[in-house]
Structure 1
Amino acid sequence: MTVRTAVTAGRSMSLTDNDIIVDGVRLAYRDRGDGPPVVFLHGTPSYSYEWRDVVPHVEAAGYRTLTYDLLGYGASERPLDRDTSVTAQAALLVELLDELDLARVNLVAHDIGGAIGQRLAIDWPERVHRLLLIDTVSYDSWPSATWRQIIRDNLDDHAAMSAAEFERMLTRQLQMTVSDANRMRGEVLEAYLDPHRSPLGRASFFDHQVRHYDSAHTESLTARLGDLDLPVRILWGGRDQWQPVSYAERLTADIPGAELVVLPEAGHFVMEDDAAAVTREVLDFLAA
């Protein structure tokens, strides 16, 4: 049975506005509009906030949009005893789609959301109509060099980090996601930091996100990418410091019929560098 609850006080700057219980855990989500369904999957270190300048335009164009915070992210529950790897998140997404009676959807998937999208399209091909991958992790592309250092230095003793040390570390990482660091300052930076500004938020960041930065989840898909039989577009920031364009080119070669679009002036968070271009690509792909 689907259980929906009203928005609770203290919700972060998430794009979400409702909660739903799926497989015993609470997910913060937003389900709006009519027409063909489009599911937006965010990346890390992020949450549904990253889609704030894209999703409303897709809704206005006549689509039903589903946006949610992954388990352990944003305003969703942060359980102590659940696997929040991309493989587990894909299985949970299937259950979310079942709860919302969505048999087949279009996926727009960024970063680790792209790994979830790849897994869903390969293991549950009947559930995915089209797949748009944006600066996705793939193969052995992750974690990036700076994240590997953070894993070595902080993962096992992150509780020893002060709030100020944590915030400086995460700010440095977030400012690498855009081609112009000025785009990751002020209100925008505050929004990305917001879910992690409590002891629980900082612990959850390491336990639910960083601990699962593991390329085994995408390397296990490499030999199966050629089995994908659906329209696939790959959208990439030409200045991505975490996921080089060479991985986009490799994916394009390995996925039958995939097409590649590069935004030369954008970084890893392309929706922060050029939300209008991302929106155009999403709408063009959906209408193709």
Structure 2
Amino acid sequence: MTFLTDSLLVDGVRIAYRDRGRGEPVVFLHGTPSHAYEWREVAPRIQAAGYRTIAYDLLGYGLSERPAHRDTSVAAQTDLLEGILDALDVGTVNIVAHDIGGAIGQRFALAHPTRVRRLMLVDTVSYDSWPSSTWQKIIDEELDDFTSLSQEAFDALLTRQLEMTVADRTLMSGDVLQAYLAPHRSAPGRASFFEHQVRHYDSKYTEEITGELGSLTMPVRVLWGERDEWQPLAYAQRLVDDIPGAGLVVVPGAGHFVMEDAPARVTHEISEFLTVPVPPRAPR
């Protein structure tokens, strides 16, 4: 299934993206180990509800360029998001951000508060919540010698991790599993996975903004899978406690990739959140 159909040149790099619909813009930020494919069941439904929906593969992920010598950390991806919005002529935007995309969403909302109308954080990394214990083990054992991994061994490793993202393991199988594995079905693809994704699993990018979360003034909603194996629910509650006025919605029986376990529920929660009034901004 082809979800992203277009490419955009931003700051000298090629970004694969999808921009559909008219109305208030909503940007979907994906997580890891993933790409924008994870929003395939949700973004079109939000578009049908009357919104302009924008999804893209982070730099180094999915169909976007995988530059050999380019920073693809959370901080760099945050800067790139600003360039993408400028290139698409988007001023203010609603952000729906999952996992590592949630770190980008948090940082962008803090750096550019006048450009974010609403922020939804979906099973996001935060504080010192990442990398999870299974990812830390992979970092310790494989990151410095990943070139020795065969395709078969790599597929087995990533499949084990992907199966942890859903409460219903049968959902991460067949064509869906193959779509998540597809970007890494080559030596360059495997290298890109470790260099552009795993190497940047570093909680410093969220820990350094912990003290700033209280300054967020836009509506914030935290959406979480009850059975998330990577991001414990306690972190969702901590975010709600630290962000003024933030609300928490827990999806029963869903895992870390809540949009795979419960796409209809996720669509409903996003749709409802997009109707929340945005308070007028105080003049500067």
Would the TM-score normalized by the shorter structure come out above 0.5? yes
Cα deviation code 1:22-81 (max 9, x no counterpart): 000000001111000000000000001000000111000000011000000000000011
Which residue of the partner structure matches residue 83 of structure 1? 71
After superposition, residues 9-158 of structure 1 pair within 5 angstroms as 13-158=1-146
Structure 2 unaligned regions, length at least 5: 277-284
User: Which residue of the other structure, out of 269, 273, 277, is the alignment partner of 2:257?
Assistant: 269
Residues 179-216 of structure 1 deviation map (CA, whole Å, 9 limit, x = unaligned)? 01111011110110011101111000000000000000
Identical pairs, percent: 64
- 1:168 aligned counterpart, secondary structure: helix
- Relative to the length of structure 2, the TM-score reads 0.96
Partner residue in 2 for 1:10: none
Q: TM-score, normalised by structure 1?
A: 0.95
Report the AA paired with residue 115 of structure 1. Answer: A
1: CA distance, partners of 2:2 / 2:101: 16
For the Cα contact (< 8 Å) 1:138–1:247, is it kept in 2? yes
Secondary structure of residue in 2 paired with 1:102: coil
**After TM superposition, what 4+ stretches of structure 1 lie above 2 angstroms from structure 2?**
none
Once residues 148 and 203 of structure 2 are traced to their aligned partners in structure 1, the CA distance between those partners, rounded to angstroms, is 27
Q: What is the RMSD of the two structures over their aligned residues, measured on CA atoms? A: 0.6
Tell me, in whole angstroms, the C-alpha distance in 1 between the residues paired with 2:86 and 2:174: 39
Q: Judge conservation of contact 1:86–1:217 (CA < 8 Å) in 2.
A: yes
Q: Kindly tell me the number of residue pairs found equivalent between the two proteins.
A: 276
CA distance in 2, matches of 1:287, 1:258: 15
Aligned ranges for residues 170-181 of structure 1 at < 5 Å? Answer: 170-181=158-169
- How far has the Cα of 1:287 moved from its partner? 1.3
SS at match of 2:37: helix
- The answer as to whether partners of 1:111 and 1:137 remain within 8 angstroms in 2 is yes
Give the letter for the 1:267 counterpart: G
Gaps of 5+ in 1: 1-12
